Chains A and B, each alone.
Chain A
Amino acid sequence: MDLTGEQHALLAALADGLPLVAEPYAALGQRLGWSEAAVLDGIRTLVEEGVIKRFGVVVRHHELGYRANAMVVFDLPDDELQAAARILAARPAVTLCYRRPRRLPRWPYNLFCMIHGRDRARVLAEVEAATTAAGIAQRPRAVLFSKRRFKQQAARYGGEAAA
């Protein structure tokens, strides 16, 4: 997608998020030399074009008390994957659910879910419950708990935490 110069300027102004004031779009407009209406129109257009997927808050799981997070990966037959993924994705503890390519022979898994929980036992219990609900409890899987977060920076434009 080719962005206009104005769109680039707007994305750059939004890179650190909205100013935390009562009228944040007006404040962004002041920074850009635009009217508040122009800022709102510009953002709505970016949402319509799919450049902005969502507008909300980015929370830090660890600071919220979600001490455990696991990437749970599955090796599912192609004709089973979508139905199972939809069931997994609908569960509140599952925050992301993506299909990614296998890289054989090194990496056999093609469905990736992120499961957050307050501790490891709860994450593992959720893995059991979710895979049973999705009918994939017997399929090959691996649970990769995170040990340490080395780097987590707010996605600038060009980047997005949920890759």
Chain B
Amino acid sequence: MMDELDRQLINWLQGGLPIAEAPFAAAAAALGLAEDEVVQRLRRLAELRVLSRVGPMYDAVRLGGGLTLAAMAVPEARFDEVAELVNAYPEVAHNYRREHRWNMWFVLATERPERVGELLAEIAARTGLAVLDLPKEAEYFLALRLPA
């Protein structure tokens, strides 16, 4: 599946990709690989779905959009039904089940900021369940670096 060079490559790229003509050449030089091999490895890692994407991470708020983390306390018997309803919204970027009374956690990203409140109210009305709106107020780190 993944070898040591794949892990080194992922670690290197998590530090940021150069915005320059041949961005993978710098990774190749750092790891002692040919540029073409870096590209081939990235294609394979994308096929294996270890990498979901090589590219930009956006700041939705700077883009003019709305973004929040929402939580719901869903009764066990209704979990699948509510998950299906929530996940059907294209604005729901991801949804995790967590072990807690507040057991459904999803990220909502909308093109217009006011749409966040509208959608959360709609989900609350359709499910009859409370929805916590927990937007980010301050951020203390964002380098999503995981040693591979």
A contact face: mostly helix, strand, loop, or mixed: mixed
> A52 near B59 (CB under 8 angstroms)?
yes
Q: Among B16, B24, B143, B146, which residue has its beta carbon within 8 angstroms of that of A64?
A: B146
Kindly report which residue of chain B lies nearest to residue A39, judged by CB atoms.
B19
- B52 near A59 with CB under 8 A, answer yes
The answer to whether A159 and B93 touch across the interface, beta carbons within 8 angstroms, is yes
Contact with A along B36-75 (1 / 0, CB 8 A): 1001001100101111111111111011110111010000
Judge whether A53 is part of the interface by a CB distance below 8 angstroms: yes
Docked pose: A163 CA to B139 CA in angstroms: 10
In the complex, the answer to whether A3 meets B64 with C-beta atoms within 8 Å is: yes
A residues in contact with B140, CB < 8 Å:
82, 85-86, 88-89, 97-99
Q: Complex: how many Å from CA A154 to CA B60? A: 13
Q: Could you give, for residues 42-58 of chain A, a 1 whenever the CB lies within 8 Å of some chain B CB and a 0 otherwise?
A: 01101101111111111
Q: Is the CB of B69 within 8 A of A100?
A: yes
Total B residues in contact with A, Cβ cutoff 8 Å? 78
User: Would you give the 0/1 interface string for B67-103, flagging 1 where the beta carbon is closer than 8 Å to chain A?
Assistant: 1110100000000000100010001111111111010
Asked if B96 contacts A55 (CB within 8 A), the reply is no
Chain A residues with CB below 8 A from B137, complex form: 98-101
User: Do A89 and B141 touch across chains, with their CB atoms under 8 A apart?
Assistant: yes
Question: Which residues of A from 18 to 55 have beta carbons under 8 Å from B?
Answer: 18, 20-26, 36, 40, 43-44, 46-47, 49-55
CB nearest to B94 among chain A residues? A152
Counting contact residues on chain A (CB < 8 A from B), the size range is 35 or more
Using CB atoms, name the residue of chain B closest to A148.
B97
Does B128 sit at the interface, judged by CB under 8 A?
Answer: no
Task: Enumerate chain A interface residues (CB-CB to B < 8 A).
Answer: 1-3, 11, 14, 16-18, 20-26, 36, 40, 43-44, 46-47, 49-61, 63-64, 66, 71, 82, 85-86, 88-90, 92, 94-101, 103, 106-107, 112, 116, 142, 144-155, 157-163
21 contacting pairs across A/B (C-beta < 8 A): A11-B58, A14-B56, A23-B22, A25-B21, A40-B20, A43-B56, A51-B58, A52-B58, A64-B146, A100-B135, A103-B132, A107-B71, A112-B69, A145-B99, A148-B97, A149-B94, A149-B95, A152-B52, A159-B109, A160-B67, A162-B144
